[in-house]
A and B are shown apart, each in its own frame.
Chain A
Amino acid sequence: MAVAEQAARYRPSRMALLAAWMRRHRFEIALITPLVAYVVVLTIAPIIDTFKVSFTHPRTLAFPSGANYQANFGSATFREATVNTVIVAVLSLTLELAVGLGVALALHARFRGQGFVRTVILVPLGVPTIVSGAIMLLIFARSGYVNSVLGGIAGLISDIPGVNWEFRNLSWTTDGGLRTLLTVSIADMWKVLPIVSLIFLAGLQSIPEDIYEAADVDGATKWQKFARITFPLLIPYITMALILRSIDAFRIFELALVLSGAIEPVLGTYIWDRFGPPTNDPFTASAAAIVLFGIIMVFIILYLRFVAARTEAAR
């Protein structure tokens, strides 16, 4: 008891403690300040700014005002863009995760030339988005390469007596609709393949070999091993990939700009159109940007709530 009293006597005030702490850690505080200052001034402040602008009436400058949001939601282009954004994001995410998982599984196995394949997989990382968009344009154009290949296959199939597949060049990007959005998703998937498959590969490598050996001893088939062991253990990585990618999937811009352009707008291109010449309207653009932000947040929260909670319960 005497000791506790003594301890109380010796415990200085909170403020004094804080001040002393700061004095002693001058060095660390100096090191971290530039980063913090930068983030505050050039990330947080602009967001708040955009937020404010989105609620500012374009003509009267009254605040707060829902005029911009009204204008946006009243515009057919905006509504279309919003729907398209969600569609593209969902398509992209599905493709990315599925193909990424497949590629990761392939990379995980041991085979000759493994190192080569792993290097090759990294290539899309090195190709600028704009460039991949441009190339996809070439590939999916009416007189593009996909059509070439499909035409070639149709030709081969038609060689089989009795089968006649007439293949007319499809327009992938100019007709609009789901096909166009699909091209955007495919382009996105290509670009992102290295990152997603690397994340999954890391996940696969973190699963200890002995679990599979134990499964073998227990008599599991390949499919069972995948479904019961591999997949469940990968879920944290899938979550990570999903969150990481969904943030970017909704923000899709360059690819959409190049591939779907004005025909199928997404929120990214919509904002671009509003903000740049000739409209030069930061108000509706800001409002649209905030809406996009909102969609991303909602998606993440929903996902975490729904799926992550489910896997917790399952465990």
Chain B
Amino acid sequence: MAEITLEDVTKVYPDGTQAVSDLALDIKDGEFVVFVGPSGCGKTTALRMVAGLEDITSGKVMIGGRVVNDVPPKDRDIAMVFQNYALYPHMTVYDNLAFGLKLRRLKKEVIDQRVKEAARILGLTEMLKKKPRNLSGGQRQRVAMGRAIVREPQAFLMDEPLSNLDAKLRVQMRSEISRIQRDLKVTTIYVTHDQTEAMTMGDRVAVIRKGELQQAEPPQDLYDHPVNLFVAGFIGSPAMNMVEASVSRGDGAVFVEFAGNRLRVDDELLKERPGLKRFEGRNVVLGIRPEDIEDASLVSEAPKDRRIPATVDLREALGSEVLIHFRVKAPVVLTEDTKELAVDVGAEALEELEQVAQQGESEFVAQLNPRTRAQRGQPIELVVDTSRLHFFDPETGLGIYTD
């Protein structure tokens, strides 16, 4: 049984920086859990604590029901795939794969069989005699994986294994890794900063921010019911649009208003979000995903209380969809969460955010059907799917769901 349990795991460095705070997570046997978050959020530190490469300041890590806090990495029965692969440059691929097994004094036939099997799974059979410097990036990555597979460990720990590959290769390897993991049924913790990878690969995705676990749930749940602004803005690409809106009740329905737009909240949605009642007459942060906005002329049913007018600032044609950017005359949501999300994109993004904020406007993105006639500089009528609105408490950033 190879469950991994993190119980209030905390990591404080000698200089006082707190990398991980009270991380608590139960990972089931055979589960593929992704740790995702912006750079420096502590996800790699957490992984290394499970591996035994970092000390645990407080809390417990259990592998297979056994507390491993003081157990050295080599005795934890785990295997790790490093971001830079960490292959042994002076050994052939075969020896790289066999190294761990040789150390454990396995019989030569057993070693040979396991190495050849792993090579077959990963398509490395022709390369067994080569040395790492003669391999391509993708091949090296597979050797790194092979090293882990061969050990038949209780768990795989992967530290951004795909980040050094180019985009196409990354997509291909993603599915390969998923496939292998499902075939071998090994418990896996996978660290990445790419939310697409997280969403496509994980049984569950754990969003981490500044050392704290925000939410750990299956990808769809994360997408549909983000627990706070950070998760909402981090998951999903392009990112969710956020704006401050006021909630009001009238005509027997609940409305949200912002920048002169008035949207009627779907009754079904209201039933799922009873907590919204508390915010009647107050402001909330309204979140609308770009994919929940459509060109009104392409939608059959577009009642007035679902429309927003807009002028297209920027038009990006992707082939499968068209992204448009437009300004909304409502102040930008500037909270800790949103600032941090911007920082993760890059320092310029944060500057831009603050600039736009000063002008009292927000920038929205909508993902439209490619048949849209939207043109840059032209006005357009958009329809919002009001059954898929998101609401957040402007003071805490928490999502508004139950009472």
Contacts and interface: CB of A to CB of B under 8 A. Distances in A.
Is chain B in direct contact with chain A in the complex (CB below 8 A)? Answer: yes
Interface of A: 3-4, 6-7, 10-11, 17
B57 A3 contact: no
B203 interface: no
A7 B14 contact: no
B10 A6 contact: yes
Main secondary structure of the interface of B (DSSP, over half): strand
A21 to B, nearest CB: 10
A10 B14 contact: no
A6 B59 CA distance: 11
A258 to B, nearest CB: 46
A3 B10 CA distance: 10
Interface in B144-194: none
B12 interface: yes
Main secondary structure of the interface of A (DSSP, over half): helix
A10 B57 CA distance: 7
Given A3-B21, A3-B22, A17 B14 contact: yes
B58 interface: yes
Contacts of B358: none
Contacts of A4: 18
Contacts of A17: 14
B21 A10 contact: no
A10 B58 contact: yes
20 contacts: A3-B18, A3-B21, A3-B22, A4-B18, A6-B10, A6-B21, A6-B22, A6-B58, A7-B10, A7-B12, A7-B16, A7-B18, A7-B57, A10-B10, A10-B12, A10-B57, A10-B58, A11-B12, A11-B57, A17-B14
A162 to B, nearest CB: 69
A6 B57 CA distance: 11
A3 B14 CA distance: 16
Contacts of B18: 3-4, 7
The 10 tightest CB contacts between A and B, nearest first, are A10-B58, A7-B12, A3-B21, A10-B57, A7-B18, A11-B12, A10-B12, A10-B10, A3-B18, A3-B22
A17 B12 CA distance: 13
A224 B12 CA distance: 55
B284 to A, nearest CB: 26
Contacts of A10: 10, 12, 57-58
A17 B55 CA distance: 12
B381 to A, nearest CB: 48
A11 B10 CA distance: 11
A144 B16 CA distance: 72
Given A6-B21, A7-B12, A10-B12, 9 more contacts: A6-B22, A6-B58, A7-B10, A7-B16, A10-B10, A10-B57, A10-B58, A11-B57, A17-B14
Contacts of A11: 12, 57
A135 to B, nearest CB: 43
Interface string B52-65: 00000110000000
B311 to A, nearest CB: 45
Nearest to A9: B58
B217 to A, nearest CB: 23
Contacts of B16: 7
Interface in B1-53: 10, 12, 14, 16, 18, 21-22
A4 to B, nearest CB: 8
A6 B58 CA distance: 10
Nearest to A17: B14
A251 B21 CA distance: 58
A10 B55 CA distance: 13
Contacts of B21: 3, 6
A17 B15 CA distance: 13
